[in-house]
Structure 1
Amino acid sequence: MEPLEVDEEGRARLRELGRAPTASWWVRDRVEMVLLAAEGWSAPRIAQHLEVSASTVRRVVRAFRQHGTDALERKLPGPPPDLQHQRRVQHALAALLEQPRTWTSSQLSQALAEHGLQLGPRQVRRYLNAMGASWRRTKMSLTHRQHADAVTHARRRLATLKKRPVRRG
């Protein structure tokens, strides 16, 4: 690994970045790796000092050379999130949820497929959670299928079968 050249102004910026109260532990470690590499330390020596692997040190120093301080932050693997697709899904879900009916996540998944959005029920639940949509278990009830006169007759019949208090005296 060839020596890393960082001027005094760059070192001051790195120290400031590493000592910031909001800096995460991995940024502090990576700043330390870069500063030690700038002092002329070898990758194995830095790795031993910070208790990481030498390949990690080489990768961080190489990334710092290419991208500067942006390379010190962790990057999520994979492509960046597709915000336009997320907005389309959220807009379609909001429109579906405004309908006067009750939905399951499977039903929402099928309804979204009609809009050209292929999502499984689990992914639909994740979107609903991100949107702050609340849900609760449906109440098991047969009141919508009962006949009022039959209910009244049954209540009268039950009232006659109730135990009455014993009168003494």
Structure 2
Amino acid sequence: MLYTSAMLRADVSPEDWERLRERGRSPWATPWERDRVEMILLSASGWSPPWIAEYLGVHAATVRRVLKAWSREGLDALERKLPGPVPDVERHARVVGLLEKLLSEPRIWTSAQLAEALAGVGIRMSARQTERYLAEMGASWHRNKSSLAHMQQPQHVEQARRKLTTLKKSPRAEAGPLLSR
């Protein structure tokens, strides 16, 4: 169906006109919301979508989309709707619960190992996504320290320490003045 400018004229009742003006002037309104209010009010005043688009510096298709949403939804058309699917709250809670259970075990995990463990119970995620969940949970992680302390034998360490003390230079005697007068 071909839409003409007359078909996309916003019908605004006097009550809605006042509500829109209040909402557009509200200190809590976002610039994005103010633009939508202005699109609707300008359309109701007789402006065409291309004129509104040029005046506000947006694409004419954006103005048409807002006006169509206004005719379908009314004041709800002013709300910004995020793209994408609705968040899966149940899955999120399940993942957080499983991560908490895994982290309570007495071992050190990498994000890749946690992702593997979650895959074992039917939750497929990348290591990066696992890190995002950990950050959200406030869990901390750090790079392991490279150390061989766990492999050292105490008697060998003491023997090496004694040998090193014998190889150290003796303390220097107090240096006297270089030039005497």
TM range (shorter): over 0.9
1:25 maps to what in 2?
31
RMSD: 1.4
Question: How far, CA to CA, are the matches of 1:147 and 1:46 in structure 2?
Answer: 80
Q: CA deviation at 1:166?
A: 4.1
Aligned partner of residue 24 in structure 2, secondary structure: helix
> What are the residue-to-residue correspondences of 1:1-169 with 2, within 5 Å?
1=5, 2=7, 3-167=9-173
Q: Counterpart amino acid of 2:33?
A: V
In structure 1, the gaps of 5 or more residues are none
In structure 2, the gaps of 5 or more residues are 175-181
Q: Please tell me whether the aligned partners of residues 10 and 70 of structure 2 are also in contact (alpha carbons under 8 angstroms).
A: no
Q: Counterpart amino acid of 2:148?
A: L
Q: Please tell me whether the aligned partners of residues 24 and 34 of structure 2 are also in contact (alpha carbons under 8 angstroms).
A: yes
Question: How far, CA to CA, are the matches of 1:65 and 1:156 in structure 2?
Answer: 88
Question: How far, CA to CA, are the matches of 2:75 and 2:159 in structure 1?
Answer: 80
Q: Please tell me whether the aligned partners of residues 11 and 71 of structure 2 are also in contact (alpha carbons under 8 angstroms).
A: no
Structure having the larger proportion of residues in helix: 1
Question: How far, CA to CA, are the matches of 2:111 and 2:100 in structure 1?
Answer: 13
Over the matched positions of the two proteins, sequence identity in percent amounts to: 54
TM-score (norm 1): 0.93
Aligned partner of residue 85 in structure 1, secondary structure: helix
Q: CA deviation at 1:4?
A: 2.0
| Distance change (3 Å), C-alpha of 1:63 and 1:163 | same
Which structure has the greater CA radius of gyration?
2
- Number of residues paired by the alignment? 168
How far does the alpha carbon of each residue in 1:96-115 deviate from its partner, in whole angstroms, 9 at most, with x for none? 11111111011001111112
